[in-house]
Amino acid sequence: MLVALARKYLGPYRWAVVAVLVLQLVQTLAALYLPSLNADIIDNGVVPGDIGYIWSTGGWMLVVSLGQVVASVIAVYFGAQVATAFGRDLRRDVFHSVQTYSAREMARFGAPTLITRSTNDVQQVQMTVLMTFTIMVMAPIMLIGGVILALSEDVSMSGLLLVIVPVLAATAGVIVWRMVPHFRRMQKRIDAINSVLREQITGLRVVRAFVRERRETERFGVVNEELFDTSLRAGRLMALTFPVVMLIMNLSSVAVLWFGAHEIQAGEMEIGSLTAFLSYIMYILMAVMMSTMIFMMIPRAAVAAERIGEVLDTEPSVVDPESPVALPGSLAEQNGSPEHNGSPDGVVAGPSGRVTFEDVEFRYPGAEEPVLHELSFEAVPGQITAIIGSTGSGKSTLLNLVPRLFDATGGTVRVDGVDVRDLLQRDLGSLMGLVPQKAFLFSGTVADNLRYGKSDATEEEMWAALEVAQARDFIEALPDGLESEVAQGGSTFSGGQRQRLAIARAVIRKPRIYLFDDSFSALDYATDARLRAALRPQTRDATVIVVAQRVATIRDAEQILVLDHGRIVGRGTHAQLLADNPTYQEIVTSQMSLEEAA
């Protein structure tokens, strides 16, 4: 996977990669040439006392050294630029892949591991690419060149390489092999610590309210200690590498000087040749050591690349159709998109926003039983369709099928008679005004959050939406009004304020279909009543589907569906269900007296 990612994401920068290879070749050859010049100075200049030869050859060494420095600096510059661009592009594609995921894929991975994969894992791969350009490209050139030049100096002494290089390579290989499982565990430990830390920060107020700081500290300490232990084991192996390599290199130097001294004494070798041979041995061993450094990084980068590849290769379960149908008035038709089927059969009357469920079934992956069973009903414009039931009856799951956060595993969900799977997701989304069960606000300003509903909303439209959502008063009371800062998740507002702002965000776009997923639960009864009264004129021509736990919220709905274990066990108005539906009666009497319900 690491090679596949490198091939794909380095392709656009092939010329810069070629430049790095050429420059690394130049600077490595220059480095290998210097010991030969030094040997010539010793043998032909120092020994005979030829000062002129020393100056001329020394000047040439200076020129070669300067060329080596220039080539090295430029190579590192281009290498860093390509590696950084590689990381940027890879991180962008991981982010875009996650953006296409449905709720099913998000639940499969989870937020903590997706954060780690798009940050830490990408960083590991990026750093390996950078080290490859700055070190790994140079290592084989230095190794091969060093062996050739060492042979040219003394063939018999070069026999030492047959012992030194295999010993060094085998030692490094064993250490790297033992490090791989530790790196794999380390990435999982980072996922775990990210998960705990994210949960504790998000639930900080709950932790303090229940005085559970000590327990959360202990919980964090467990995952932190696990990461520490794994990192320590990997670090010990990594730390062991360099002393072993230096030991082998120093023993090699001693061996070269020992055998070289005997050859000089026998007149079979010059002093300059010995110094050059010793330099080439060091270059060869340095090349092996640099390769070892890269091989220590590659296992962790390979693990990271596998995790990144898993994100990139995961196909979303909710995808656009190959031959989409265009609803008149949708974004695609307004933009004249050529993606749509232009035949008469591909166009339907609307969009009115009529939602139809036909024998719909849904089950989560791996579940033995469906969450929803053979649901059939119709929600029409101008009416409120309410869904009520006990916790776990499938209310929110039902609502999520309309905007295709999930796809039904059986039956059909239709909008204006068209299967939602035959519509582009952007067209379907343009019809929806969704207020989720957990009212989430983005960091920025109040105006920024409202413009999520309508990007070109004017200030008048924003105040009008806030008026409907019963949020105008507390926004006007803020020092900066619409430009007041909103913390991530909306933590600067109360639960009821977040819900009202989320409702305003949906109202401002004037959608054809309103989806309220228990969106009034944090409101007091008076505010709830005022908000619903203000919504009536706004939603007069739209389809409204409301999921609620509170009977008072949905008692005026034209159609109430009672869910129990994923099945519709009651259908009608409040009065009809109160008269003849035991499940609905049980829900009502748990919240109010029969006199109040009537």
Q: What pLDDT sits at residue 156?
A: 66
Helix (H) or strand (E) holding 572: strand 567-572
Residue in the block written with tokens 């050059």 = 276
Q: What pLDDT sits at residue 269?
A: 67
Q: What pLDDT sits at residue 116?
A: 81
Is the peptide bond between 299 and the residue preceding it cis, with omega within 30 degrees of 0? no
Q: What pLDDT sits at residue 565?
A: 86
Is the domain defined by 440-510 classed in CATH 3.40.50.300? yes
In which residue ranges of the chain is CATH 1.20.1560.10 found? 2-313
Question: What's the rounded Cα separation, in Å, for the pair 200 and 204?
Answer: 6
Q: What pLDDT sits at residue 336?
A: 45
In which residue ranges of the chain is CATH 3.40.50.300 found? 323-431+511-598, 440-510
Instruction: Tell me if 346 sits within 8 A of 340, measured CB to CB.
Output: yes
Query: Given the DSSP bridges, would you call strands 444-445 and 485-486 parallel, antiparallel or unpaired?
Result: antiparallel
Instruction: Tell me if 122 sits within 8 A of 97, measured CB to CB.
Output: no
pLDDT tens per residue across span 207-261: 777 777 788 888 888 888 888 888 888 888 777 777 877 787 778 778 777 777 7
Instruction: Tell me if 400 sits within 8 A of 406, measured CB to CB.
Output: yes
Instruction: Tell me if 428 sits within 8 A of 420, measured CB to CB.
Output: yes
Fold of the 2-313 domain: ABC transporter transmembrane region fold (1.20.1560)
Write out residues in the chain with pLDDT < 70, as ranges. 47, 153-159, 267-270, 272-273, 296, 328-350, 592-598
Candidate CATH numbers 1.10.3720.10, 3.40.605.10, 3.30.390.10, 3.40.50.300; the one for domain 323-431+511-598 = 3.40.50.300
Q: What pLDDT sits at residue 193?
A: 83
Instruction: Tell me if 575 sits within 8 A of 567, measured CB to CB.
Output: no
Instruction: Tell me if 543 sits within 8 A of 512, measured CB to CB.
Output: yes
Q: What pLDDT sits at residue 430?
A: 85
Spatial CA neighbour of 317 closest among 362, 360, 347: 362
- Buried b / exposed e over 415-438, threshold 16 CB at 10 Å, is bbebebbbbbbebbbbbbbbbbbe
Count CB atoms within 10 A of the CB of residue 299: 21
Q: What pLDDT sits at residue 345?
A: 41
Q: What pLDDT sits at residue 189?
A: 84
Question: What's the rounded Cα separation, in Å, for the pair 425 and 423?
Answer: 6
Structural tokens at position 296: 């220590």
Q: What is the DSSP letter of 25?
A: H
pTM over 0.75: no
